[in-house]
Every structure is written in C-alpha cells, then in structure tokens.
Chains A and B, each alone.
Chain A
Amino acid sequence: EVLQNHVLEAKVFHTEYGTGVAILTGAHRFTLTTNIDDLKLRRLPEVPGLQKRPSCWAVLCQDRVLVILLAVGQELYLLDNTSFTLVTPPELSPHAGAYLQMAVSFNYRYLALFTDTGYIWMGMSSLKEKLCEFNCDFRAPPKQMAWCKRPRSKQRAVVVAWDRRLLVAGDAKEGIQFVLDEDSCLVPELDGVRILSRSTHEFLHEIPEASKEIFRIASMAPGALLLEAQKEYEAASFGKCFIDKFPPESFVRTCRDLRVLNAIRDYQIGVPLTFSQYKQLTIEVLLDRLVLRRLYPLAIKICEYLRLSEIQGVSRILAHWACYKVQQKDKSDEEVAHAINQKLGDTPGISYSEIAARAYDCGRTELAIKLLEYEPRSGEQVPLLLKMKRSKLALSKAIESGDTDLVYTVVLHLKNELNRSTFFMTLQNQPVALSLYRQFCKHQEPETLKDLYNQDDNHQELGNLHVRSSYTSEKSMEGRVAELQDGVDEYYKAKNEFAAKATDDQIKLLRMQRRLQDDFDKPYLDYSLHDTVYNLILDGNHKRAEQLYRDFKIPDKRFWWLKISALAEREDWEEMEKFSKSKKSPIGYLPFVEICVKHHNRYEAKKFAPRVAPEQRVKAYILVGELDQAADTAIEHKSESELNLVLAKCTSSTDAAVAEKINRAKTQSLKK
C-alpha cells in the first residue's frame, strides 16, 4: 500500500522502544513502526472523511501507546490503533482558528499548537491541561516549531521558525525574536534546540540557574565569587578546599567529562554536546559514533583518559579499526595482517576471529587465514576455517583446542565434504580425530569401522570386531562360526596366537554344544567350557564329560574340582567314591570332605577324612565333627596351634573328655 500510494510525509521519532517511523501515504492513511530494528508495520485505521492532507500532525506517546494527533482545519483528531476521536485542547481561545503547526516535546509530555491567528497553545500532550498561551503577530505558517526546555526545569518555551525569523515563546507576554541569516533547521534536543544552517551550528537553550548566578552582573552568588577567585588563583579546584569531606570522585569525574566534551567540540570533530546530552547518550554510544566516523585515535585517547576497562574500551575500538583496515584493498595481505597484529598485539578482549570473519566477508580469504593465526583460542578459529573450506587446517586447530566436540564437528564435516579415500587419508594423519571417528562408527557405522581397521592393517581390532559380532549380532550357528573363523584368521595375521587358539577352541566348543543340544535336547549353547562339562556330569553323562576333558585339555585340578561339586550337587555319592579312587587326587581330599559337609552329608565326609593329607587332617576331622580323632591327630603332630584349634571347638558339656585329653597333651609338651 505504501508503495502504491507514495509517501507524502514521514516522521522519525524516538521512544523507549527504539527509533520509530510514522508514514502518511497518498491515500491519507497512517502506518507506523515502533522500532526500525525490529520492523513490524502497524497500519492505523482510516480517517473518515479525510480527503486532503492534514495541515499538520505529530506522533504522541500516551501511556506507552503510540497515537497520532492530526489537525484538519480547525479540528484536531486523535488516531489510535482502533479508533478515531475528535479532541479539543482545554481552555483553547475561541478565536484560535485553524491549526498550522504542532510540536511535541522531547519527552512526549508537552504539546504546542500554532494556529492561523498567530495563537500558540501550550499544554500537556495528554490534552488535559493547558500551561499557557501566546499571541504573536505572525500569521504565516511557520516552517518549524520545537520545544526548548531543560530537564527538571520549570521554564517552558517553544521555538517557532519562519524563513528568516525565530521566535521564542513562553509563559511571558513578550517573546524573544532572533533574525536568521540563512535558511535554518531546528533540531529539538533533550535540553534545548539546535539550529543548523549551511554555515553555522547554534544551540539555543535555557540558561541554567547556576550559570545565571555566576555570570549575572555583579552577582554575589558563591559560583560567581569562585569564578573571580579562579581568575586570581588559576585554580579551579580552589573552592573545594572550603568544603569538609568533599568526595573527590564526582569532582574528578566532572572534570574528565568536561575535557572529553571540549575535545569533541573541536571544529575538526564537530560534535558539540551539552553535558546532559552526553549523559543521556552515554560514553559507549559516543565512542561508537566516533568509531563510525573512523576517529579511532581520539576514541582510544578518550578510553585511556577515562580509564575504561580494556574490553569495553580500547580493545573494542581496535577491533573496529581492524575490521575497517581489512577492507583496504590497496594493501597486501601481509601488510594488513602485520599492521593489525602490530597494533593489537594480544590486547585482552580482542577477537581475531571476528576480524578474520570480516576479512573473509570482504573476499580476502588469505588475509583471514593469516589473521586467524593470531587468534590464541584455537576453538574460535575452527568455525570460520570450516566456512572458508579450509577443513584440514580446521581439523588441526580443533585438535589443538582439546575440545572433542569441536573435533567431531570438523570430522563429520570432512566426512561429507571429502570423498571416502581422501577422508580416510586425512584421518590417518590425525590420531585423535581417527580415534574419535572410530567411536562414532562403532555405534553408527560398523562397516566403516572395518574399513578403517583394514586400511591400517589393524588385524587385532578386526579380529575383535568379528568375535564381538559373533556374540552380539549373529544369531545363526553358521553365522557365528563364520565370524569366529574370520576372527581366527585375523588374529593369526596379527600374530596373536593365543587369541587365535582361544577362538579356535570356541568354534570347537560351539559345534560340540550344538551336538549336545541335539543329543540331549537341553540347552548347552553359550555355556563356558566349565559349565558345559559341569552340566554334563550333573546329568550323569560322564562319558561325554570325559571326552570334553580330553579334547579341550582341561587341567586335572579344574576337572576334579568341577566333578566333585557336580557329583555332590547330584548327590551321587557312589560315583564320588568311585571317582576318588580312580587315581590320586590332584587337589587332595580335603575338598571332598568340604563338599560333602556343604551338602550336609557327614557320613560320606567321614569316609574321606582319613585320606586327607596329614597337615590338613585336623581341619578335616573338625569339619566332620570327629573332635576326638582331631585331637589324636593333633597330639600326634605335636602341634600347639592345632591343639588350640581343636580345643576352641570343644564345648564343655559334650567334649569334656577330649578337652581334658588335649590339656594333658599340652602340659606334657610343656614339660619337655
């Protein structure tokens, strides 16, 4: 719509939400946005009966809502989001006539209206209260009108400008008139009005009470006296001596600020700011403006002078300078990079990567890479390097940073960017990246993992992979055996004979278990060798057990342990006795006693006790409860500790005889 109907007039305004623009289109409709950085257009409703352009209008801010005040002839309308209302300013002179110009104060609190009878109404912008009125002799429509007022001052005035005339109108009957030599333009400010013309720049503002007191003729105010004193002593801080406990900070701060203001007022800089404007603007914004005008040296001087922290001040400005510098196309990459590093060094808060990013944006990739070299945090270098397609360099930088996540980012980036073989080659030279990628493949791409190991002839790991998959992914017997067989081959290549042999045995065991499963219709698969044999004995299949014992060269000790435990669990005491006599037990006979006792068969246990080796026989007798025998053996051994052991087991009521026997033996041995 704006495009179709052309823009008749636009007004820029500033609120707490930012800078806004209001537009009046050729169709006499208003559109506005409150913040140009976050552009949301709001079209206000049509003004009924508005056929021609309003004579004047302004944007008001009432209770944080933006409305438009417009005048058509003698009528004044308020236009908001939804409605359109006719309003009348309170106590408006009945002879006012048609509105020609209006002005809203800087803070949106006051409104001034100028009519074709030369009448000026001044009041609150809420249109609820009139402050004063003023009649002047000029009827011609003024070119501009603006409020001139200091914050917190009671004095209010509007400045009205015609082609060559300026009128300051306020609460008094008489206005002040100035003659303008040139075409001028008024800019309302926080604390006054700027008057700009082609060759001059003036500032009109109310003189503060303090200044008035100083400079009034024959003033006796302290300030004036002080000024006189200063002339005498050339010491501005003279007065401060007369005040007890005067905090020096504010004095120093004010002096510094004044010097800054004087510096920027210099004609070469040309930023005449008043103190309150400067405070409103803040030093940061002022610095930004200086930087935008490339007044880097001045900005840095100011930072240093005001002792701003480096990150806030100098570094920021240097970074801006560097970003500007990289755009200078007439200098070589080396020169620029060198110049930047010379100036910046390693000032804290400087991000070389940001400057490099700017250089890259300007199409100077080589320069960007050179600048990145200066970036101390390798992590910061990586994203830009990737963007510039310097992936291999990015990879080394990422590894240097020690940040695994960053390495992953680059690796996976590389994976998509390079073809497979180059990708693998790149990884070969970067062990950290390689091991990380392996981790990734383990879960996500097992086949790739195989390729990776194949490439560097890592047969051990390949063997492990095959073996692992025979336990995890393969389900069929054939598949499992095949995987294991591959494992065996790889282990041989890796010269790991132990693993090859163990895996070979596992194939044999699997096949055997399969046969057992078929023969006995019981699950045997995935038992360990020990458990397989144990279960065979438990089921009384002694022959098959013996076969496995021989085939797999199970050590005798293990076989005896396992067999007696299985027989005991089966309570096959007959077989156990037979077995014990088959040949000399490699584990001795105490385990027989123990296992019988464990299964609560003292009767069987007693049979084995006499066969237990002498040094353990006492223990065996105690286990089976033959304390008398135990005592005899101990006496035979003449072993004090054994005697004590037996004695400890004796209970006074039942074993009194045994205890006595031991005590006797003990005293006898003592005598000797």
Chain B
Amino acid sequence: MSPLDRIANVSILKQHDVDKLYKVENKPVFSTSDQLCFLVRPRIRNVKYVADIVNADKAAGRTRKYKIIFSPQKFYTCEMVLEEEGIYGDVTCDEWSFYLLPLDDDIISMELPEFFRDYFLEGDQRWISAVARALQLLNSLFGPFTRTYGIGRCAKMAHEVWRELAEENEGDAQARKPEIGHVFLMDRDVDYVTALCSQVVYEGLVDDTFRIKCGSVDFGPDITSSDRSIKVLLNTQDKVFNEIRNEHFSNVFSFLSQKARKLQSQYDRRRGMDIKQMKNFVSQELKGLKHEHRLLSLHIGACESIMKKKTKQDFQELLKTEHSLLEGFDIRESTSFIEEHIDRQVSPIESLRLMCLLSITENGLIPKDYRSLKTQYLQSYGPEHLLTFHNLRRMGLLTEQAPGDTLTAMESKVSKLVTDRAAGKLTDAFSSLARKSNFRGISKKLGLIPHVDGEYNLKVPQDMAYVFSGAYVPLSCKIMEQVLERRGWLGLEDVVRLLNGNEFAVTDAGVEENPTWESQRVILAVFLGGCTFSEICALRFLGKERGYRFIFLTTAITSSGRLLEATMETVT
C-alpha cells in the first residue's frame, strides 16, 4: 500500500475522472488521455522521467497537458532540471504540502524512507525543513510544546529551523492549552544497534518477514489458505492484532489458541438458543464474530509462516550470536559464525547486518577481520558491494578499529569544529569521519544488558528488554526514559559524550508548566531516519509502566532490512 492509497484509493481517484494510474519510472507511458498528472517526490531522477515522457510526446507530435505535483514541496533543482530538459514551459507545477500520515492511533509517519540515505549517507539536508514543517503543523494543531529534548545533529538543526518557523508564525497562533507536553527528537545514528537487531515482538516480526507498508501488509496465499493474497490493515482497529502486536513472539501462539477457544465458545452459545435469541445473535453478534474469526485465522496463518522461517535451528543460532555480540562475549566464535553465514550465502542483507552489528558493538573490526570478512562478502554476493562497504564506512556502520590514538586526536579536532556555532551548520558530509560507536561503554553506563537470575519472564516483562527476548534494552528508548525521568541531560554527561554530543533541552518560556495537566504525560517521540516496531513496542511498554502516552512521529518505519538496503549499491 502506498501513502496515496491511504488517502485516496484508486476508486476515489476514478470517481474524479482519473483514467489510469502509472508508476513514475523510466518507461514510456501509453495513454490516450490528453492530460497527465505526476505526483512525485522532488527528486532530480523523477523530474527526468517526466521530461523523458514529455519529450517523447513532443517527438511523436502529441500535445497533452502536464502537471507535476511535488510533495511535500518543490525544490529549486527540480525546476532547474525542467529548464535544462527544455520542458519548463510545457508543464505546470504545484506543491502538495503533505507531511503527516497517521498510520495508527499513536504512529504518525512522514513516509519519507529516503530521508535516511539522503541525510545520513549523502549528507543532504533537504528534508530538515520538511521535518520542521511537520513539527510546526503539529504545534499549530495541538498547541505549544512545553519542553523539547533532542540528541543528534539533525535533531538540532530541525529544531532550530522549526523554532524559526514558529517565531514567524507566532502572530497567528492563539494562546492554546498544550496537548503535547514533551517532544523528543532523536537521530537514527545515535542508535544503530537497536535498528540492526532481529525483531522478536509480533509486529516487528511481521514487518521483518512480510514488510508492512503504510500500516498494511500483504498476506500471501500460503497464509490466507486461499488462492489469492489479502491486504490487511494492521492497527488498533484489528482487535486480534491489537492484543498481540506488542507481545514477544513466544507468547503469541498461546494467546491465539486461547482466543480461538474463546471464539468457539461464543459460537457454541448458539446451541440451546430459542428462535428469538438466535435472531438476536445472528443480527448482532455473528458478523463481529465472523470478522474476528477471519482475522484470527489470518494471524494464525502468519504465525505459522513465521514459525516455519524463524524457529529453525538457524534462527536460534542467529539470535544467540546477536546476543553474544550485544554482551561482548565470544567475539571469535561470533566472527566465525558470520563468516560461515557469508560463505554459505545465507542472505546478503543478513550477513551485512551481522557484520555491522559486530563492528558497532566492537567499535570497529580488527584489521584482519575487516579485510577478510569484506573479501568473503564480495566473493559471495558480488564485487559491486565494494561501493556498499564504502558507504557503510562513511556512516560508521562498518569500520576498522583504529590503531592507537591517531583517530581520537582527529576526532576531537572535528568535534571542536562542529561545536562552534557558525560551523555547527556545516554539512554532515563530515559526520562520516568514522565516528566511534562506543557501544560497550554506553551499554555499561546505561545498563542495557539486564542481568536476571534465572530465566527472563517474557510473559510478564519487567523492562523494555523484553522486545529483544530480555537480552538487551533498546538504547534509543533507554535514552528517552532517562532524559524524561531526569527532565534533562543532567547526570548523563558521560553518556552524552560517548554518544558524540549534540544534545539539547529547551523549555518554551511562553508555556507555563502545569504538572496536573494530562498533556504533560503526552510525549511526542520523533525519530529522524526512521524507527522500528521494536522501539515502538518498547516505548509503549514504558508508557504503560510510567503513565506516559507516547506518540510516534517518524520519517518512516524502518527495520534492519530497510536500513541496510538504503546503504547498498545495487547494479541495475
């Protein structure tokens, strides 16, 4: 499902005289319509596709009307390309300021998956203003935010741009009672580890296995046990899903079977009913039951399919390796596991994921492993990934341990450069200068690896670590928890230093704080570069424990697969 489907699906568009829908790509359009409308992201590539279509029409002597709608905004470069391609006069342009798509009661997505690569790899800041506008929109809808926290350079910039926007618009905003108390902005590169871990809560697993797109998933014929696939919207409306989405996968099956029994007993009440009761039952309950039944069978199907893929020996071993990487035990053994994984061509993405996880948790690979794992990878999955490795190194996802202190010296120089106010806005192309992840230190300081006597209780979890089978508390969520608890960064100086700084906490002077207001418990968690379902689950859990209500604003829903695909160079 695409964002457009969520807003105006094909039948609505058809009602408004849309003849046919095409994907904008490098292909000619065969259409007899005399008007073409392009709804695109403002990218040079897209504009060039449009230009090709228009120029092909020109060559064929066709005249049509063309309109390009850029969403969320038009960029100057796009117009520039239109001009260079010689079609500036042939098309009209428009903007659709579409910033927020609510995927669920508590998830708002900007549906900008390209944000991640653009900013964190290419150092392109184009979307920062989009984030600022999204914040401004929420601000105007839900009143001023009492307190804003953030960490990461992008978060800082987005916050600054938003403040400027807010000041400009101050005149039109009436004094409103705030409905969102706190905002927390976080860059994805503050915590790559969490995003790279295998997801084991149901919603995350469904995403990892079937890819949830725009809050909807395609269940194939093997799950629907029919001959066609079905699109299912996964949100709070789905009563079955709503009850299991945040659960560790090991609990899901027992829940589903319990649910099935309950449903059956509700059906069974039919027996012994008189005609009138039966009539009531059929007219009132049966439809709901049937619907629930259908959902239940779908989720059971999905579970079975996941089980088939994930409960094999391999998956268990994979998780074991991940956990030892997180804990920093048996590094040699894990390295051989990864090597074997590559040698057997298990999966290019998975292999890469493990390599990155190893690199981040160990602050870079030792030079020998760095070379040999890369060589193995190129032999298995193709030489073009040499470029992928270059990308990963730039982002600090896959690096080589630096001998001695030389790098640290340079780093301090760089960080000095960026703390300078004027240089603070310097591009992030330099953030690439192999930043250390310091994961081990951070993990120790924040206690990310829980030490439980005996087995971790996944049914009644004690902390957020349950989203990773009790092995690891997601760093991103832990930071939020700590900052919210301390109402600032005070006491977290060591952690902040290890996280490469760029933290901030700002109180809106214009808003008086009133701890009794319900809004003070509402927290907008903003993820720049995407957040995973595991993180959402963890924060939902934290919310329940501490009486917060988290609302998620993310540039897109992400996962280890999506994240790594964005860094890959593919040959096409």
Binding site for B on A (CB under 8 A): 309, 311, 348-349, 377, 399-400, 402-406, 408-409, 412, 431-432, 435-436, 439-440, 443-444, 460, 464, 467-468, 471-472, 498-499, 502-503, 505-506, 509, 526-530, 552, 554-555, 557-558, 561-562, 565
Contacts and interface: CB of A to CB of B under 8 A. Distances in A.
B381 A471 contact: no
B487 interface: no
A399 B425 contact: yes
Interface string B330-350: 000000000110011100000
B376 A498 contact: no
A25 B425 CA distance: 66
A474 to B, nearest CB: 12
Contacts, number: 125
Interface string B67-110: 00000010111001100100000000000000000000000000
User: Which 5 pairs between the two chains have the least Cβ-Cβ distance?
Assistant: A558-B343, A443-B44, A432-B427, A506-B383, A528-B382
Contacts of B123: 435
Given A377-B164, A400-B425, A503-B386, A412 B122 contact: no
A348 B571 CA distance: 54
B384 interface: yes
A64 to B, nearest CB: 33
B379 A552 contact: yes
B379 A557 contact: no
A672 B303 CA distance: 44
A409 B74 CA distance: 12
A479 to B, nearest CB: 15
Nearest to B81: A444
A471 B168 CA distance: 49
B383 A528 contact: yes
A484 to B, nearest CB: 9
Contact of A439 (B124, B339, B376): B124
Contacts of A460: 390
B345 A530 contact: yes
B386 A408 contact: no
A509 B375 CA distance: 14
B44 A440 contact: yes
B324 interface: no
Given A436-B124, A561-B343, A561-B344, 12 more contacts: A399-B425, A404-B124, A404-B128, A405-B129, A406-B76, A408-B76, A467-B387, A472-B571, A472-B572, A503-B386, A528-B381, A554-B379
Contact of A529 (B45, B129, B340, B379): B379
7 contacts: A403-B161, A405-B77, A406-B76, A408-B76, A408-B80, A443-B44, A530-B380
Nearest to A396: B422
Contacts of B572: 472
B239 interface: no
Contacts of A467: 384, 386-387
B429 interface: yes
B124 A435 contact: yes
Interface in B483-531: none
A72 to B, nearest CB: 53
A502 B378 CA distance: 8
A400 B371 CA distance: 41
A530 B379 contact: yes
Contact of A402 (B75, B128, B339, B383): B128
Contacts of B44: 440, 443-444
A138 B526 CA distance: 85
Interface string B377-420: 01111111011001000000000000000000000000000000
Nearest to B124: A439
A109 to B, nearest CB: 39
A431 B379 contact: no
Most chain A beta-carbon neighbours within 10 Å: one of B80, B386, B387: B386
B124 A526 contact: no
Interface string B154-183: 000100110010001001000000000000
Given A432-B425, A432-B426, A528 B380 contact: yes
B291 interface: no
Contacts of A402: 125, 128-129, 157, 160-161, 425
Given A404-B124, A440-B77, A558 B383 contact: no
Given A502-B378, A528-B383, A443 B45 contact: yes
B65 interface: no
B371 A498 contact: yes
A403 B422 CA distance: 15
Contacts of A400: 422, 425
A409 B168 CA distance: 22
Contacts of B427: 431-432, 435
B131 to A, nearest CB: 11
Nearest to A415: B80
B381 A464 contact: no
Contacts of B76: 405-406, 408-409, 412
A671 to B, nearest CB: 29
B125 A408 contact: no
B248 interface: no
A620 to B, nearest CB: 13
Given A400-B425, A435-B429, A502-B378, A464 B390 contact: yes
A505 B383 contact: yes
A412 B386 contact: no
Given A432-B426, A443-B48, A471-B384, A408 B77 contact: yes
A112 B333 CA distance: 108
A297 B128 CA distance: 43
Nearest to B400: A498
